[in-house]
Structure formats: C-alpha cells, structure tokens
Structure 1
Amino acid sequence: MAVLRALVLTVCLLCVYAPAPSSSSASSGYFLRCLSASIPSELVFTQSSASFTSVLASSIRNPRFSTPGTVRPLGIVTPTNASHVQAAVLCGRRHGIRVRVRSGGHDYEGLSYRSERPEAFAVVDLANLRSVRVNRARATAWVDSGATVGELYHAVAKRRPAFPAGLCPTIGVGGHFSGGGFGLLQRKYGIAVDHVIDAVLVDAQGRLLDKKAMGREVFWAIRGGGGESFGIVLSWRVRLVSVPPKVAAFIVPVSVNDGAVDVLTKWQEVGPALPDDLFIRVMVMNGVAIFQSLYLGTCDALLPVIRGRLPELGMNRSHCREMSWAESVLYVYVGSGQPIPVTDLLNRTFPMDSSNKATSDYVRQPIGRDVWAEIFAWLARPDPGIMILDPYGAQISAVPESATPYPHRGGVLYNIQYMNFWSAGNDEEPNVRWIRDLYAFMAPHVSKNPREAYFNYRDLDLGRNVVVGNVSSYEAGKVWGEKYFKGNYKRLALAKGKIDPDDYFRNEQSIPPLVRRS
C-alpha cells in the first residue's frame, strides 16, 4: 500500500480538490486543461481529437446509443495506471464535471458512456487496465476491471482452476462484478461476487482504498451493489474454484410441435432441484426451446440423470460433448454445437449491427402449462424477441440475501431475461413495445412485492433517479432500487452516504446517498 499512497500524493500535488462549481463551458475548459496537466496527452481524447469518435465507439455495444442525438462526453480518459484515474476524479471534483466509468460497454442502457440529461461529463474507460494475475498456490487472482470475462477465464484456465461468472466472454469484469455476475457455475459455486475477497477502489476524494481502508460496509456494497455508485473499482481479488479436467455439455432444441411446452413446464421444477454439478438453461425463441447444459462430470454419468429426471427432453449420447471447462463456455455461448478454440475467449470485439432492449424477472412459483402456451404465442408475434431462463437452487440459493447486495437467492426457481434485437433502419418502437407488452403480460406469473429484477440487465423503464438539491433522492430511488436489491437497498444507500455523501458518482440508476444523522 506504500506505492498506492505515493500515487495518491502525486496526484494530489497535481490537482488539489476544491468545492465543485456549477457546470459551464468555462468549467469544462478548466477541467480539460486539468486533465492535460495530470495525464499523458495520448491517454486523453476530447471532442476535438481526431480519434474521439472511434475511441467512444470502441465499446458501444448497442447502436441505439450511438445516434447523433446521444449526449456525448466532453472527453474520454483511457488510463494505464491508478494515478490517471485519480487525476480524472480530482479534476472532475475541482471543476464540477462528473465522470462515468466504462469497462466493457455492455451496460444495457449505455449509462457508462452516455447521459439521458444534457450535462457535461467525462468517461473513464478502463480498457487499458486489463491485467489478470493468477496465484496458483493460493488459488486466487487479481483481475483489473478493464479485463473481459473471457480474458479472466483464459488466464485462470491455463492453470486448471475456474471462476464462476457470466457466459458472455466480451463483458467487462468491472461492470459484471458490480452487479453480481451469475453464470453456468452458479448452482455449484454461487456467483462472481461470492468469491471477491479484496478490491482496489478510487473514491470521490481521489483516494486509493483497499478492502481494509474502504471499510466493511463499502466493501460489501461494491460486490453487487451496482457500478458507478461508490467509486471506481480498479481491480478485484477473487478466489478461484476447481473443475474437472473434462466437463460434459449438450445443446438440445425442442420445437413446439415436438412438445416444447411440456418439456419447459417440467424443466422449471426439475432444473432448480438437480444435483449442483448440473446446470441446464433454456433459450426460448421462434417456437423452439433450446436446452443448454454444463455438467461437471462425464457424459456417461450425465445421461442417467437426464433420463431419470427429465426424460421428456429426449437427450441421448449423440447430444453430449466432453471438453475442458473453458471450451464449454464458448460451446454454450456460441450455441453452434461445434467446439470453439479457447483462444476465442480473448476476442474483445463485438458485432454492433443490431440495436437491443432488455429487461428481467425472477420466478418463485412454477408457471402453468397454459401460460407457457401463451408465451410461445407471444414469441411468434411480429417483431419477436427471445427469453433466456437460468435455473437457481443449490449454492446460489444457499447464500443469505444479505450476504451481498445481490438478493435473489433462496426461493428463486429461475431468472428470466427478455431481449429483443432490430437492425439499423428498422423502427425501434414496435420492438421495444414487444418487450414492454410481454413484461406486462408476465406480471401475474413472476415475483411480487417487489417484482425483482437483475441489475446487470439494467432497464430504465423500472425507474430513474430524481435529483433534489444536487443529490439523488433516496425515496425516489426506491422505485427501481428495491426491484434490483430488495431489502439491501437501504444498506447500500447508507454505504453510499459513507463513501460519497455529495453524490459525485451518479447516473440515472446509481445508488443515492443516505446519511445517518446522529
């Protein structure tokens, strides 16, 4: 930590904190000059920079938010060490310019690089901070927030352990961990934040804090309480888990004509009650339910389990493939049924050819067969999207709701992600309406009081912050906050009040500060 303290001191000498004035073109100019005095020029891109547009677009995953009407940042900082991040924060505080933080750019509402309000802000893009340092003897790793989940998997898999996080390899670690991070290993090992054991955070005062320095409540909050609320997490120390040298995976599509409604109706009770080594998710689209599975064992051991618990699926030996755990991630993610080279985990590119809209639900009581028949009819309507169902139970459900900010634990059968895509030039309105209408239709069949949602499937339809006196309203934040965090929302707001009472780090769905009065 001596090195970290030295970095803090260096930055503080460059840019002393002062109370933030109101935002104006003058303060924007002062802010940019402060950046240029504190950070190498090749790491700062202003709107007048030749590379500004390409750097901004480099991690935009949703073309909806790259239109000319999108509010763009004043500048983008691409730090290569902690002192650059500290400088961006301190310059922002001094000149009244907020910063937004981007790791992989997968934020479903684009809030890591855009604003819904006409305001001056800058982006700290962490893509250059992407190191993964594995300690094989201790079965731990330090992973920087700008690394992708695929890069983390590739690094740890070379030494044969694994890590329980999401399926999409191009997701940035920083945002993924900040929202919880569930994936194929969740029934065996829980979710990503269950295995975070330390972190390095830049707070609103520009300080560099580890777990001990940030304190118990803030460390609790950053592990699933939402990104860009408590500061900028630069790096995470995680505990790795073990998997067999070979695992088994299968992909089995079942059409409506072949009994998909019946198989899916049974799956929703069987899937969460299977042995914890077995995970079977379902993608529902175009009249087909696609069952995708990871099993921490062999095909010979898996077949009797499926035949005994879900014979309606019709899964046989020809469907099953054995491969390494790292290969299984790509096998299920791509869904082609063919093995994919492990080196593809390192691919950070993402096709940006279709816009999208998403939202989510949690199911605690089985949905009836007749309702599933209606759902398949919804999926056959014009402008249809997809539903992805991830089973819970086992270890993810065994963790208490208050252990981390991520509260969707005991009693959850499965999570639903609704998503729709449309090509450039197509009308956005009917595609977004499809999601909203299906979400309304599902209300009687999913969790209630609150109707739960997953923060990493962020949806501004659930509510937006209301700023009162230059601070986000705690009461207004309940509208969306209790859907994502249930009873943990108040504790998150109190943690925010400790680390950032002035609400410097904020966006349309950041945690508002709640300051406990003595």
Structure 2
Amino acid sequence: MGLVATRVLWVMITSVICTDAIRSHDGFVSCMSNTIPFVNTSRYVFTRDMPMHSSLVSSQHNPRCSNSTSSQRQVGIVTPNNIAEIQAAIICSREQGLQVRVRSGGHDYEGLSYLCKIPFVIIDMRNLRSIRINIKQETAWVDSRATLGELYYSIAQKSQTHGFPAGICPSVGVGGHFSGGGFGTMVRKYGLAADNVIDAYLVDAKGRFLDRKSMGEDLFWAIRGGGGASFGVVVSWKIKLVRVPSKVTVFNVYKNMDQHTIGIIHHWQHIAHKMKNELVIRVLIQYVHGDTNTSVQALFNSLFLGELNDLIPLMNETFPQLGLKAEDCIEMSWIDSVVFFS
C-alpha cells in the first residue's frame, strides 16, 4: 500500500474511532445520570472536554498514559466515591459496549490502565483509599487506592510489633500490588501479600457487590495473583497482619564485581533459600558512575527479623563468604526498615 493510501486509511480509522468514542461518550454520560439520578455526574465523571480531565490522565508514575491512539478511544474517567458509583460505571459500560480499565493510582509502567483497542472507560479509585486497622484481631481493611507506604504507616501508628509482607516501594498502590501477588522483604517468612489476603469486596462484570463468601473460592483465588482488574473491580482488601520483632536488623554490603564477587553470588544462589526464613538477602548488580570511569558493583541488601547478636553467628555459619561485620549492620524498628529499603 502506498504512503498516501496508508495515510488516508489511517485518517479513516482514526475518524471511526473518534466518532465511536463521541457516540459512546454521550450514551455513557446519559446512562450514568439515569442510573444515579440524584447525584451530579460532573462530580465524578470526567470527559476529555472537561478542564479536570488532563490532570487526571497525567501521572509521573505512568509514562505511557499520553498514548495518542489510546487517548482517542478513551470515553472518560470515573472517580467513584462509593460502591454504587462503581456499579453504575460498570453497568453503563456494558450497556454502551465499552471496555473498563481500573486504576489504583500507583505505578503502571506497562500502561495497562490506559490502553485498549476499543472505546473504554477508566475507573480511577483515587477517592477510595481508607485503611482500617484492627490490632486486636490482627487484621485490616485496605481500600485499593491506598499505597503501601500509607498501609505501613497506619499499621505502625497502632503497633510497633505488627507489619505486612508486601513490597518495598511506598508509592505502589495496593490494588495492583495485591492482585498481582505482591513480593517483598518478608516473603520467605510470610509469603506474598496475596497469601495474606483473607477477604475482599469486589464489584463484578454484572455490577454485583461480592465478598469472599458470595464470590466463591475460585474467584477469590483468581484475584489474588491473577490480576484483580481481570475479574472485576476490587474495592477493598481484608488482610492478615503479621507479627514482627521490636528490633530488626538490616545491612548493605557492596562488592566490586570481579571473579571473587561472582563466586560469592554463585554461592548465594545455592544457599539463600536454605537459610532461616527470617532472613532475606537480595543481590542488586548495578553500574556505579565515578568522576573518571564507570564500574560495576554487587549490593547485598538484607532484612533480618531479629537482632544483630543473632544475625552475625547465623551469617558466619551459613554464608561466611560474604564477610559480614557488625559495623555493616543497623538495628531498627520494622517501620524504619521500610524507609531504609525504600
């Protein structure tokens, strides 16, 4: 196909996309108004012709959100304040033949909250971010828009001997993190974040509001690692808090990359999974830029759920090749270790 013909075809396709999006936009907004008649939709439904829309789309965590082709297909952004508004968005999307993309508000480097091949609506969970801690029961309800940092801080406000086994980056949204599994520094002791989810509130593709009992164990299993947005909109997660010691120990050990360090890394790969579950050692291989040259270093980065006096003998017995010394280590509270890793 020639260049001119290609351009004409692209203009025709783009025109169809835009026309469909405009038609869907009008029908979607009308449906939302009719479904919740006593609430002004301009309070939580934002379309491209509204001043607020561009600020809702753009995000430093989501570099692909400005994708022009996807933007043409996007009918609007819904920022629900309650479950009824989520249900209305799903019901009206189905009625208008629209896809739904869910955004928790954290990182989305793949841009999956913004990309779709047909006209679609984004359900942005930014208004649903409450965290309700119950230390007596050692549980918490966490809305999907809350970040890991907010969750950790809320736990620490209630207890210095409780935590939660999720990731190290505090700006990650729990909705995407939990539904994708959730890997962190306490994974060897307590498993993934998803392993510690014990209930959830979900709005499914039919607009039904479900908890663990009503959704069934198969669906409950699927949203904990299979991607929550693949099966519905997870509004809130009930999690099991875990116990942490009042003091934990962290360390950073840097090694210049040479044959000796390669040998240490090789040994680490064979013994790390056999060490006490309270100990996690990560290895990060990274460039170090100096004034005159660039070198490569290996960083051995660790959390031990215990005190220094227990860590040093353990390391001397199981991983003496690293040469860990007491001065490499810092004792601190678990919540301080969150800051250390982030």
Length-normalised TM-score, structure 2: 0.86
Contact 2:58 2:65 in 1 (8 A): no
1:217 Cα deviation after fit: 1.2
Is 1:71 the counterpart of 2:80 in the alignment? no
Equivalent residues in 2 for 1:352-367, closer than 5 Å: none
In structure 1, the residue matched to 2:28 is 31
Counterparts of 2:98 and 2:129 in 1: how far apart (Å)? 26
Distance 1:69 1:31, change over 3 A: closer
Cα separation, 1, equivalents of 2:199 and 2:62: 32
Partners of 1:24 and 1:307 in 2: CA distance: 64
Residue 36 of structure 1 contacts residue 44 of structure 1 at CA under 8 Å; is this kept in 2?
no
Shift of 1:255: 1.1
Distance verdict in 2 for CA 1:211–1:163, change over 3 Å = same
Amino acid across the alignment from 1:259? H
Q: How big is the shift at 1:308?
A: 2.1
CA shift for structure 1 position 147: 0.5
On the 8 A contact 1:251/1:332 being kept in 2, the answer is: no
C-alpha change, 1:24 and 1:169, in structure 2 (3 Å) is closer
Letter in 2 for 1:126: M
After superposition, give the CA deviation of every residue in 1:399-455 in whole Å (9 maximum; x if it has no partner): xxxxxxxxxxxxxxxxxxxxxxxxxxxxxxxxxxxxxxxxxxxxxxxxxxxxxxxxx
2:103–2:123 Cα contact (<8 Å) kept? yes
CA contact under 8 A between 2:178 and 2:224: conserved in structure 1? yes
Partner of 2:223: 222
- Structure 2 residue matching 1:104: 3-state secondary structure: coil
TM-superposed deviation, 1:66: 2.7
Check the 8 A contact 1:180/1:193 in 2, yes or no. yes
Query: 1:447-462 alignment to 2 at 5 Å?
Result: none
How far apart are residue 258 of structure 1 and its match? 7.9
Matches within 5 A, 1:10-49: 25-37=22-34, 38=36, 40=40, 41-49=42-50
Match of 1:307 in 2: 316
Matched to 2:142, the amino acid is: V
Query: Offset at 1:182?
Result: 1.4
Q: Is the 8 A contact 1:247 1:298 kept in 2?
A: yes
The answer to whether the 8 A contact 2:198-2:240 is kept is yes
CA distance in 1, matches of 2:286, 2:158: 37
Structure 1: give runs of 5+ residues left out of the alignment. Answer: 1-21, 334-518
Local SS of the residue matching 2:171: coil
- 1:162-204 CA distance string (max 9 Å, x none): 1111111111111111111111111001111111111110011
Structure-2 residue corresponding to 1:123: 122
2:54 is matched with: 53
Q: 1:69 to 1:94 in 2, by over 3 A?
A: closer
Partner of residue 326, structure 1? 335
Q: What's the CA shift string for 1:364-423, capped at 9, x where partnerless?
A: xxxxxxxxxxxxxxxxxxxxxxxxxxxxxxxxxxxxxxxxxxxxxxxxxxxxxxxxxxxx
Aligned pairs, number = 309
Verify the 8 A CA contact 2:64 2:110 in the aligned structure 1.
no
The aligned amino acid for 1:29 is: D
Distance in 2, matches of 1:36 and 1:273, equals 59
Aligned twin of 1:292: 301
Within a 5 Å distance, the mapping from 1:395-406 to structure 2 comes to: none
Tell me the distance in 1 between the aligned counterparts of 2:234 and 2:332: 34
**Which SS does the other structure have where 2:126 is aligned?**
helix
Q: Distance in 2 between matches of 1:235 and 1:92?
A: 21
1:129-144 matches, within 5 Å, as 129-144=128-143
CA pair 238-299 structure 1, distance change in 2 beyond 3 A:
same
- In structure 1, the residue corresponding to 2:146 is in which secondary structure? coil
Q: Distance in 2 between matches of 1:143 and 1:93?
A: 28
Tell which structure's C-alpha radius of gyration is larger: 2
Find the residue that maps to 2:71 and give its secondary structure. coil
Confirm or deny: 8 A CA contact 1:23 1:96 kept in the other structure: no
* SS of aligned partner of 1:124: strand
Matches within 5 A, 1:370-449: none
Overall identity of the aligned pairs, in %: 48
Q: Return the alpha-carbon distance in structure 2 between the equivalents of residues 297 and 158 of structure 1.
A: 21
* CA distance 1:36–1:319, shift in 2 (3 Å): farther
Aligned residue for 2:201, secondary structure, equals: strand
Residue 149 (structure 1) aligns with: 148
Q: Name the structure 2 match of 1:379.
A: none
Give, in angstroms, the shift of residue 302 of structure 1: 0.7
Q: Is the 8 A contact 1:105 1:112 kept in 2?
A: no
Q: Distance in 1 between matches of 2:266 and 2:65?
A: 37
Q: State whether residues 143 and 152 of structure 1, in contact with CA within 8 Å, keep that contact through their aligned partners in structure 2.
A: yes
- Please tell me whether residue 86 in structure 1 is matched to residue 87 in structure 2: yes
Aligned to 2:171: 170
| One-letter amino acid matched to 2:166 | A
Show the counterpart of 2:290.
none
Task: Give the root-mean-square deviation of aligned CA atoms.
Answer: 1.8
Aligned partners of 2:298 and 2:70: how far apart in 1? 36
Gaps spanning 5+ residues in structure 2: where?
Answer: 1-18, 288-295
TM-score by length of 1: 0.57
Label 1:89 to 1:67 Cα distance change in 2 as closer, same or farther (>3 A).
closer
Q: Secondary structure at the match of 2:149?
A: helix
Asked whether the equivalents of residues 23 and 95 of structure 1 are also in contact (C-alpha less than 8 Å), the reply is: no
* Residue equivalent to 1:368: none
When residues 67 and 204 of structure 1 are mapped into structure 2, their CA distance, relative to the original with a 3 A threshold, is closer
Contact 1:44 1:77 (8 Å CA) reproduced: yes
TM-fit CA distance, 1:317:
1.1
The structural deviation recorded for 1:24 is 5.6
Shift of 1:226: 1.4
Which residue identity is paired with 1:85? I
Aligned equivalents of 1:80 and 1:289: distance in 2?
A: 46
